[in-house]
Amino acid sequence: MNGALAGWLQIALLVAALAACYIPLGNYMARMFTTDKHWRVERGVYKVIGINPETDQKWSAYLRSMLAFSGVSVVFLYGLQRLQHYLPFSEHMSAVPPALAWNTSASFVTNTNWQNYSGESTMGYLTQMSGLAVQNFLSAGVGLVVAIALIRGFTRSRTDKLGNFWVDLTRAVFRLLLPLSVIVAIIYMSGGVIDNFSAYHSVTTLSGGHQTMVGGPVASQEAIKNLGNNGGGFFNANSAHPFENPNPFTNWLTIFILLVIPFATPRAFGKMIGDNRQGYALVAVMVVIWLAAVGGISFFEAQGAGMAPHLAHGAFEGKEVAFGNPGSSLFAASTTTTSTGAVNSFHDSFTPFGGGIALFDIALGEIAPGGIGAGMYGILVLAIVTVFVAGLMVGRTPEYIGKKIRPAEMKYAALYFLTLPVVILTAAGLSIGLKNPQASILNPGPHGLSEVVYAFASMANNNGSAFGGLTGNTTWYNTVGGIVILLGRFAPEIFALGLAGSLARQSPVPASVGTLDTRKPLFVGMLVAVILILVGLTYFPALALGPFAEGLH
Amino acid sequence: MNRLPSLVRQHLAALRGLLVFTVLCGIIYPAVMFGVAQAAFHQQANGSQVSYQGKVVGSSLLCQEFVNAKGNPLAQYFQPRPSAAVNATDKTDYGCDPGFSAASNLGPNNPTLVQLIKQRQKQYAALNHVKISSIPPDAVTASGSGLDPDVSPQNAYLQVNRVAAARHASPSAVRALVSRFVQGRTLGFLGEPRVDVLTLNIALDQQFPLASGH
């Protein structure tokens, strides 16, 4: 079969599989967060935590529980890394240095999984398994429950209650993430992903040399790493490492599981608000943007522009033979449009425009389909901005899903949108302007600027992939990066929950002839346009001086 | 409990929650998965190790170096792709080191990468007596992991004459061996055709043994 056709078939199978999961998985998620039945094991958890599962929380109480949980998690994970040399199963790894441990714990608690370390030479098995992988579950769960709380803002009226954070989180883990992880981990193992606790040891190679054999409980961690859009590799090479992603089938499966929950969440939204067509409209926006990213990266990587790819007869630096350019491009587009950040090929070595699209995907704010939960609340905020813009055109008070978008709601939405560019551009600007951070850049010219902008866009949007040439393990990038990561996660979540509270207090307004129908293709087109224009204008200078300058040179 | 300020109570609840989930997702779940892996997928879960003459010589999923003490390629073995997985503090580490999986991260217009590719093309052309224009990209670019076990079929076939000459074997017999080791796309359309270098070299040693003393 011809290579390009095989590449397109790979995408077609993916789209078909995702479409097949949209309704059943979305319906299941909606049911899971609306049923009033508790599982016995869940009641046990509530007892240990010491909460009453029937208590409904106000948005501020929901937020405080979420922040307390995340805060405690940051401290716990920091402590685990700093003390790992005293603990068992640590493979003789020494304590993680303070700045790096701070960056890593902020990164994993926020679903970012930006990594300034190499797993195989920094983190013991216990830290990976009982620290990092646990946050892979919990940070995904937290993202999802914030989205559910925001959806309840639309479904509820004249109330200040949004549900119970602990109940939502526990269900996200027990009913969704854990069972799916078990299935995926078993498929991974059968494909060759390792899962052992063997100590690193040396073997004599065929020609008489020596090679270190590495090990670790990888399959169990790999499953939730991808399913929860975390992306933090067990090993430095992440999903390019053959022990994490051994063959073209595991590669395809990995891409599928990165996308499956985020793409099914609009269905859960549609189901919960009782209007499935609203879910279809949002998922259509996501699909359009994701497919454009897939097509764009695939095209530019296959074309192979740039001096080095020309010389080598192809853009193949940083890619694996088994995945080829199609499998690497599809992965890159999917990991950057979800907030995953796992990589099976290295974006720093991509062609200028291929890498530029990866950066643009992240800058879009992770909404197409975005990270688990985070993509859903992100696109809901942008939908509100869109009906507001449409309302301005015709001079009417905008509404969305039966709720008026008043100044209070718009303030939350605007704050949500403005946080990330301010954080990203400030941190990137300082890093370019100051001498020390500038020295971390590997590649000369405009590409070096792309490395820095990519780094902060990735950290603030909780993606975690990198233009890996940038030396991140410095006091500056560890410290400032940790702050950027926390701001990029929790500021938008605070605004999303505030928005949810404000919406829930309203009485529903019945749709009238003047109401913009947000189920129609017109709205889908407007939402896509608002997303592209907002992001395009915000990041245009940085993108022009980085990828564009390099690509058009 | 109710005497404690609510801020403290909240964080204690959060801590209890975190501990429950740590036991569940961070100890029980990986332990059970480890059990399943070892019971049902022993070979894969332990790194898909391969043996030669009864001794483990590596993993079919990891490349390994076939070089002499000076780091020059051994003509009698098929050569893997260039690798950036190197322990920088070890002067005799030439790549494919699983303790240091890594990509070069060099950008598409980086002069260093351009130089590296030119140099690799020259070496590959000289070693295999082939024209630079015939060398496929995978032979002159470093993989993302630095551990890529595969080369493209084109890359393997270009090495046949050299390997056959070094082993005093017939090129057509070696070529036939290579063609048996070409893996096609999974299901006909997933991934790219490829050749696993280590398992090919093991078969080579079995079928065309080197004269003793090599």
Instruction: Please state the rounded mean pLDDT for residues A91-112.
Output: 96
Q: Say if residue B66 is in the same domain as residue B163.
A: yes
Judging contacts by C-beta atoms under 8 Å, the chain A residues touching residue B202 are: 206
- Same domain (yes/no): B113, B172: yes
Query: Into how many domains does chain B fold?
Result: 2
Nearest to B201 by CA among B26, B66, B102: B66
Query: Is-above-0.80 flag for pTM?
Result: yes
Nearest CA to A198 out of B146, B56, B63 is that of: B56
Distance CA(A234)–CA(A221), nearest Å, equals 8
Does residue B156 fall inside a structural domain? yes
Cα first-last separation, chain A: 35
Percent above pLDDT 90 for chain A? 95
Q: How many CB pairs under 8 A join A and B?
A: 364
CB A481, CB A472: distance < 8 Å: yes
pLDDT digits 0-9 by tens, A114-166 = 999 999 999 999 999 999 999 999 999 999 999 999 999 999 999 999 999 99
Task: Give CA torsion, residues A12, A15, A16, A17, to 10 deg.
Answer: 120
* DSSP at A132: I
Q: Residue A427: its pLDDT value, please?
A: 97
Task: Give dist(CA A34, CA A16) in Å, integer.
Answer: 28
**Inter-chain touch B66–A442, beta carbons under 8 Å:** no
Residue A513's pLDDT is 83
Hey, of B4, B27, B29, B147, which one would you mutate to test binding to chain A, going by the most A CBs within 10 A of its CB? B29
> How far apart, in Å, are the Cα atoms of A533 and each of A285, A539, B183, B197?
14, 10, 46, 49
Chain B residues with CB under 8 Å of A314 CB are: 136-137, 141
Report how far residue A265's alpha carbon sits from residue A254's, in angstroms, rounded to the nearest whole number. 18
Residue B213 lies in a domain: no
Q: Give the pLDDT confidence score for residue B212 in this predicted structure.
A: 55
Measuring CA to CA, how many Å separate A171 from each of A63, A69, A76, A445, B191?
A: 18, 16, 22, 49, 36
Q: How far is A241 from chain B (nearest CA, A)?
A: 5
pLDDT score for A395: 85
Flag if B34 and A318 touch (Cβ within 8 Å). Answer: no
Please report whether residue B20 resides in a domain.
yes
Name the DSSP letter for residue A176. I
Question: What is the distance of C-alpha B68 from the center of its chain?
Answer: 19
Residue B107 lies in a domain: yes
CA distances from A120 to A93, A452, A469, B97, B184 (A): 9, 25, 18, 11, 31
In single-letter form, the type of residue at position A234 comes to F
List C-alpha distances in Å: A201 to A127, A213, B83, B99. Answer: 20, 5, 21, 10
From the list A13, A189, A314, the residue facing B45 with the nearest CB is A189
**Which residue in chain B is spatially nearest to A221 when comparing CA positions?**
B30
Average pLDDT of every residue of chain A = 96
Name the nearest CA neighbour of A399 among A408, A422, A390. Answer: A390
Residues A254-263 pLDDT 10s: 999 999 999 9
**Residue-level pLDDT at A1:** 73
Q: Does some domain include residue B197?
A: yes
Is B76 inside a domain boundary?
Answer: yes
Best of A66, A139, A186, A207 to disrupt the B interface (most B CBs within 10 Å) is A207
- Give tens-digit pLDDT for B150-191: 999 999 999 999 999 999 999 999 999 999 999 999 999 999
Residues B10 and B60 in one domain: no
- The arithmetic mean of pLDDT across residues B102-108, rounded, is 97
Residue ranges of alpha helices (H) inside A198-321 are 218-227, 248-273, 276-303, 307-312
Q: Is the Cβ–Cβ distance between A264 and A22 less than 8 Å?
A: yes
Pairwise CA distance, residues B147 & B64, whole Å: 8
The whole-angstrom separation of Cα A443 and Cα A86 is 39
Contact A236 B190 (CB under 8 A): no
B1 is a domain residue: no
Q: Please give, rounded to a whole number of angstroms, the shortest distance from the CA of A71 to a CA of chain B.
A: 8
Are residues B164 and B88 part of one domain? yes
Residue B213 predicted with pLDDT over 70: no
Nearest CB neighbour to B15, from listed A72, A196, A328:
A72
Shared-domain flag, residues B90 and B70:
yes
Cβ neighbours of A19 (radius 10 Å): 12
**Same domain as B181, residue B127:** yes
- Looking at residue A148, its amino acid is I
**Residue A183 clears pLDDT 70, i.e. is over it:** yes
Q: Does residue B212 lie within any of the structural domains?
A: no
Q: Is residue A37 predicted with pLDDT exceeding 60?
A: yes
| B90 plus B21 within the same structural domain | no
Q: How far is the CA of A4 from the CAs of A11, A528, B150, B157, B190, in angstroms?
A: 11, 28, 20, 22, 11
Q: Which residues of B touch A552 (CB under 8 A)?
A: none
Cβ neighbours for A322, distance < 8 A, ≥ 6 positions apart: A247, A248, A251, B148, B150, B191, B192, B194
Task: Examine the domain organization and report whether B105 and B135 are in the same domain.
Answer: yes
Cβ contact (<8 Å) for A206 and B57?
yes
**Helix H or strand E segment including A185:** helix A178-191
**Residue B2 pLDDT:** 60
Average pLDDT over residues A539-547: 93
Q: What is the average pLDDT across A497-522?
A: 93
Torsion angle of C-alpha atoms B167, B171, B176, B178, degrees rounded to 10: 60
Candidate from A207, A212, A468 with C-beta closest to B97: A212
Q: Which residues does chain B have within 8 Å of residue A312's beta carbon, measured at their own beta carbons? A: 117, 121, 137, 140-141
Residues B13 and B54 grouped into a single domain: no
pLDDT at B214 over 80: no
Whether B89 and B187 map to the same domain: the answer is yes
Alpha-carbon span A191 to A185, nearest angstrom: 10
pLDDT (0 to 100) of residue B127? 97
Mutation choice for B interface testing from A321, A443, A552 by most B CBs within 10 A? A321
Q: How does residue B4 score in pLDDT terms, banded at 50, 70 and 90?
A: confident
Same-domain pairing of B90 and B126: yes
Between B12, B45, B99, which is nearest A121 by CB? B99
User: Looking at this predicted complex, what is its ipTM?
Assistant: 0.96
In this structure, what token pair is assigned to residue B50? 């391969």
Domain that holds residue B117: 50-207
* Residue A243: exposure state from Cβ atoms within 10 A (0-12, 13-18, ≥19): buried
Domain boundaries, chain A: 3-20+28-551
- Residues B26 and B91 placed together within one structural domain of the fold: no
Each residue's pLDDT tens digit, B13-63: 999 999 999 999 999 999 999 999 999 999 999 999 999 999 999 999 999
Nearest residue to A355 (alpha-carbon basis) of A332, A381, A384:
A332
Residue with tokens 């869109």: A386
Task: Decide: helix, strand or coil at residue A7.
Answer: helix
pLDDT at A531: 95
Q: State residue B58's pLDDT score.
A: 97
pLDDT for the residue numbered A9: 96
Sign of the torsion formed by the C-alpha atoms of B36, B40, B42 and B44: negative
Q: Which two tokens stand for residue A405?
A: 């978008």
